[in-house]
Structure 1
Amino acid sequence: MLVLSRKEDEAVVFPELGITVKVIDIRGTTVRLGFEAPRDIRIHRGEVQLAIEAGLAQGESILTIPQDQKEEQNNDSAGI
């Protein structure tokens, strides 16, 4: 594992992947990160990825979109 120190407004870049991770804010023990990546790159928090993997192990689909997100997508595509 590579370990780097970064200060606020500094970034780590993965040029071959088109990904930049920037330190947005540091408050106490909490660090806010910003991610720039191609749209086809999925980015999940660690605990979300674990839940996805646990769901897959139980046979659930990761392609299921919650109803409220479906409505938002429909509104966005309709220009609302």
Structure 2
Amino acid sequence: MSCLNVTCFSYVHNFGDKFLRCLAFVIHLHLHLTKSVVACCNTIKFSRLIEFYFLPDDLVDWLEPLMILLRNSPKLKSLIIDTVNTLRL
């Protein structure tokens, strides 16, 4: 099975479970956490994720969704949380 290894995105207009399921097998993920992403983070297990670069939106309460995502990422080795360069979209 071929898998997407690296993905980076900051805004998706219609974010849903189908989109996140496509990302479930990435190894490196750069994610800008917005309100639409928060609702989808609870159910996806990122089984291959080893590097996570996280840009939380300053309008989102991001700690709980981040904790869920970390719990669903058993192979994670590197976590970067960038609160300085957070974008307002």
TM-score by length of 1: 0.27
Larger Rg: 1
TM-score by length of 2: 0.26
Answer 1 or 2: higher relative contact order, Cα 8 Å, separation at least 6: 2
| Larger relative helix fraction | 1
